[in-house]
Amino acid sequence: MGLVFKDVGVIDLDGSVTLQENLLLKFKPKIISLPRENNFKIWTSLENYQAVCQKLSGTVYGVNFCGLGEFHHLAYYLIQRIPVQKVAVVVFDNHPDLLPTFPGYISCGSWLLNVAELKKVVQIIVVGITEISGLKRVLPVTLKEKVMLFLPQSKKLKSTIIPVKYFNESNLLTELYKSIKVKDIYISIDKDVLHPLDAVTSWEQGELRLSQLLSALTMLKEKYQIWGIDICGEYGNELLKIQRIGERWATSQNERANLEILEILLRE
């Protein structure tokens, strides 16, 4: 098992990944740059979403870096391209990304609702959520048929229609392996799932350590056929300036995480 495609790409909407010189030098990703003024960040109409995605026909099928977490909804397009009849989507994210937005729109917080409607997606597993307040809202009842949430044991959810498992450092791999129903999977990573010591993102961050994520990716690579991976959760230039966090430090932290993730994924 392992990655079906081992090419690396950058969908550049914000310039955050192209700052990571070591990543560019070592893995030589294919870069597709899109205009910054395409009204795509955080949310957009489905009409504009389709127009933007039409410009991504040259995107690689292996590992795609998508920049800020505000562009996580790019994953919906990447998942639509998967050429299999049944696929499980495994998401590492500090947020559920299952919260309804306005009709006719898609957002970085709602895109998994669109993914759940795809016939070929038979299962969605979201690992690492600590921002659970949104799960107390009214969610579509149909989600319980496809979606499962993996929450740290420190976060107890009193009620939700979606099945929940609680994990710790010792049982995450076992429980994740027991839960995936098919051999073909797609992986989506938002680095806000990581502890602040392991990445610098523009959203509230979770508790998962990079070492835990790498162990999970190693297991998934060994046990399943991986049809694609997207990675977001960078820290944008405008945020670096506003919050006065050293650009070099923030970029190097995220680059280190990205390099370790790629090393695990692409290792023979």
pLDDT digits (tens, 9 = 90+) for 11-35: 999 989 998 999 999 999 999 999 8
When computed from its CA atoms, the radius of gyration of the chain, rounded to whole angstroms, is: 17
Q: Cβ neighbours of residue 235 under 8 Å, at least 6 residues apart?
A: 16, 68, 200, 201, 202, 245, 250, 251, 254
**155 token code pair:** 């976060």
- Number of domains observed in the structure of the chain: 1
pTM of the predicted protein model? 0.95
The strand ranges marked E within 108-200 are 121-127, 147-152, 164-167, 184-190
Q: What tens digit of pLDDT does each residue of 207-259 get?
A: 999 999 999 999 999 999 999 999 999 987 655 454 455 677 888 999 999 99
The single residue listed with the structure tokens 């944008």 is 236
- Would you say residue 132 has pLDDT above 90? no
Average pLDDT over residues 141-167: 87
* Stretch 259-264: mean pLDDT: 99
> What is residue 245's predicted lDDT score, i.e. its pLDDT?
56
Q: What are phi and psi of 257, to 5 degrees?
A: -65, -45
Residue 144 CB-half CA count within 13 A = 9
Alpha helices in 81-158 (DSSP H): 111-116
Are 52 and 34 spatial neighbours (Cβ–Cβ below 8 Å)?
yes
Task: Output the pLDDT for position 242.
Answer: 46
Tokens 């500090």 — which residue? 94
pLDDT digits (tens, 9 = 90+) for 77-118: 999 999 999 999 999 999 999 999 999 999 999 999 999 999
Residue 172 is part of a domain; what is its CATH number? 3.40.800.10
Question: Is 106 strand, coil or helix?
Answer: strand
Closest among 230, 164, 233, 157 to 194, alpha carbons compared: 233
Question: Where would I find the beta strands (DSSP E) of the chain?
Answer: 2-3, 8-12, 30-33, 43-45, 63-68, 87-92, 105-107, 121-127, 147-152, 164-167, 184-190, 225-234
Query: Which residue type is seen at 123?
Result: Q
Pairing of strands 147-152, 121-127: parallel
Sign of CA pseudo-dihedral 103, 107, 112, 117: positive
- The string of pLDDT tens digits covering residues 183-217 is 999 999 999 999 999 999 988 999 999 999 999 99
What is the dihedral sign for C-alpha 230, 224, 150, 117? positive
Residue 76 · residue 66 · CB < 8 Å: no
* C-alpha to C-alpha distances, 72 to 86, 108, 153, 188, 190, nearest whole angstrom: 22, 5, 26, 9, 7
Q: Which domain covers residue 144, as residue numbers?
A: 2-266
